[in-house]
């Protein structure tokens, strides 16, 4: 890659500098795109990661408006992005060490934003236990990542007010990524899919359910916050029809979080539901800072509704959730994995029906 600080010193006509810059930026974007695919497939499908972020000793991509310039003169009219006088955007390694996430977010392009979100997701998921050689992350690292993700989510939802169609699509992908990472961070039970499969095949006995409920009770407020983010994912996917390949994964995880909380709340009301009469809380359409009341997250109560589904915390609500999720999952036709996930949800729906018949 051409050093950014040396590029600024080149004494060449605009046309030549533009061509050099374009080729350099193209290589930079290709490098990050390869890492992004590798990392995303590792995070979503538990494939072994082949690249480390530390291997990318290149600065983050520059804004798309400069990249999209139609002529050399138009390109020259855009000011070069500066970062503390260093002559360009920093590497991801510097973003992490300097904690300059929020500053760089507004300076880089769509791809750069996605790289930042994916790294923060990797911190939250922390696959070091499952993938030897993968760097691990401390509790402090994960807490910092969740705080940055919360800030990014607020920025994304604010910026979505005035965007072109392409910008809105990218922003929706970014929103789902941030919501999924925050849901994962706050959900007390991480092994959602294995737990679901065991439930489908009747291998989840009372002791298993009790152990899961104890784990959830130990962080009940945090778990309800995970449910809030799960409901937001469901709402965003339903209203935007995101085409990103990670969307079916996020949707499946969100539905399983909501299903599990509903099942636990019905089995073990103590520690999950507040006994006093309280107003119904509707989850999904509104961001956290626009909710009329956030006390449900702290205390919990029995009237929790999802748009188009009704009361979540009952068997009928769970089956309606699963019915809607199957239809929504099948609508994500661009990716074959959605068909497999729809089958899982159908099996879970059938197990719910069987439980209701025996109950």
Q: Which of 239-243, 314-318, 324-328 has the lowest mean pLDDT?
A: 239-243
pLDDT tens track for 224-275: 999 999 999 999 999 987 778 889 999 999 999 999 999 998 888 776 776 6
pLDDT of the residue at 317: 94
Mean pLDDT, residues 135-152: 93
Would the pLDDT of 65 be above 90?
Answer: no
CA angle 80, 83, 88 (to 5 degrees): 45
Choose between 303 and 273: higher pLDDT: 303
Average pLDDT, rounded, for the chain: 87
What are the boundaries of each domain within the chain? 102-125+138-186, 189-358
Dist CA 214 CA 220 (whole Å): 10
- Place 84 in a pLDDT band, splitting at 50, 70 and 90: very low
Mean pLDDT, residues 29-48: 88
What percent of the chain clears pLDDT 90, i.e. is strictly above it?
53
Choose between 23 and 81: higher pLDDT: 23
pLDDT of the residue at 2: 58
The two structure tokens encoding residue 2? 């051409």
Choose between 332 and 134: higher pLDDT: 332
- Place 165 in a pLDDT band, splitting at 50, 70 and 90: confident
pLDDT of the residue at 45: 81
Q: Which of 24-38, 213-227, 267-281, 330-344 has the lowest mean pLDDT?
A: 267-281
pLDDT tens track for 335-352: 678 999 999 999 999 998
- Place 132 in a pLDDT band, splitting at 50, 70 and 90: low
Would the pLDDT of 158 be above 60?
Answer: yes
Q: Which of 5-19, 210-224, 279-293, 298-312 has the lowest mean pLDDT?
A: 5-19
- Place 71 in a pLDDT band, splitting at 50, 70 and 90: very high
Q: Long-range contacts for 41-50 (Cβ within 8 Å, ≥24 apart)?
A: 42/122, 42/127, 42/131, 43/118, 43/121, 43/122, 43/125, 43/127, 44/245, 44/246, 44/249, 45/249, 45/337, 46/127, 46/130, 48/131, 49/127, 49/131, 49/134
- Place 64 in a pLDDT band, splitting at 50, 70 and 90: confident
Q: Which of 217, 149, 211 is nearest to 184 (CA)?
A: 149
The two structure tokens encoding residue 186? 């706050």
Would the pLDDT of 169 be above 70?
Answer: yes
Mean pLDDT, residues 294-298: 82
Would the pLDDT of 276 be above 70?
Answer: no
pLDDT of the residue at 307: 95
Mean pLDDT, residues 186-207: 93
3-state DSSP assignment of residue 281: strand
pLDDT of the residue at 344: 96
Secondary structure (DSSP) of 136-183: P--HHHHHHHHHHHHHHHHHHHHHTTS--HHHHHHHHHHHHHHHHHHH
pLDDT of the residue at 273: 72
**Chain Cα centroid distance, residue 323:** 23
- Place 8 in a pLDDT band, splitting at 50, 70 and 90: low
Would the pLDDT of 131 be above 70?
Answer: no
- Contact partners, residue 329, CB within 8 Å, separation at least 6: 248, 251, 252, 338, 341, 342, 345
The two structure tokens encoding residue 174? 């970014």
Gyration radius from the chain CA atoms? 23
The two structure tokens encoding residue 206? 């009372």
Strand ranges for the chain from DSSP E: 281-282, 304-306, 310-311
Dist CA 63 CA 248 (whole Å): 29
Choose between 160 and 220: higher pLDDT: 220
Backbone angles phi, psi at 304, to 5 degrees: -120, 120
Please check whether residue 312 is in contact with residue 258, taking contact to mean a CB–CB distance below 8 angstroms. yes
Q: Which of 143-152, 156-165, 224-233 has the lowest mean pLDDT?
A: 156-165
């Amino acid at each position: 890659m051409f050093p950014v600080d040396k590029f600024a010193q080149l004494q060449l006509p605009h046309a030549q500098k533009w061509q050099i810059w374009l080729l350099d930026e193209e290589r930079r974007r290709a490098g990050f795109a390869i890492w992004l695919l590798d990392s995303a497939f590792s995070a979503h499908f538990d494939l072994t990661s082949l690249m480390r972020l530390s291997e990318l000793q290149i600065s983050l991509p520059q804004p798309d408006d400069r990249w999209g310039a139609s002529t050399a003169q138009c390109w020259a009219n855009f000011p070069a992005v500066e970062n503390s006088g260093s002559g360009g955007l920093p590497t991801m390694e510097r973003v992490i060490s300097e904690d300059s996430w929020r500053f760089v977010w507004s300076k880089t392009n769509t791809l750069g934003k996605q790289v930042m979100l994916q790294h923060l997701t990797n911190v939250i998921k922390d696959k070091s236990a499952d993938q030897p050689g993968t760097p691990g992350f401390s509790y402090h690292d994960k807490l910092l990542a969740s705080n940055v993700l919360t800030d990014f989510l607020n920025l994304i939802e604010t910026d979505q007010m005035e965007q072109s169609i392409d910008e809105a699509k990218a922003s929706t992908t970014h929103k789902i990524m941030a919501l999924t990472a925050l849901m994962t961070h706050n959900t007390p039970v991480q092994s959602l899919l294995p737990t679901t499969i065991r439930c489908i095949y009747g291998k989840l006995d009372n002791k298993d359910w009790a152990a899961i409920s104890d784990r959830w009770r130990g962080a009940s407020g945090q778990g309800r916050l995970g449910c809030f983010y799960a409901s937001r994912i469901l709402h965003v996917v339903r209203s935007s029809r995101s085409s990103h390949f990670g969307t079916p994964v996020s949707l499946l995880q969100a539905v399983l979080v909501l299903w599990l909380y509903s099942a636990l709340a019905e089995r073990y009301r103590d520690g999950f539901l507040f006994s006093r009469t309280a107003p119904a809380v509707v989850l999904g359409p509104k961001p956290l800072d626009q909710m009329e009341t956030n006390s449900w997250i702290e205390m919990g109560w029995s009237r929790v509704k999802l748009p188009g589904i009704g009361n979540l915390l009952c068997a009928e609500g769970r089956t309606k959730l699963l019915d809607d999720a199957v239809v929504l999952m099948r609508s994500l036709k661009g990716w074959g994995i959605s068909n497999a996930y729809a089958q899982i949800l159908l099996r879970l729906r059938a197990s719910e029906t069987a439980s209701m018949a025996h109950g």
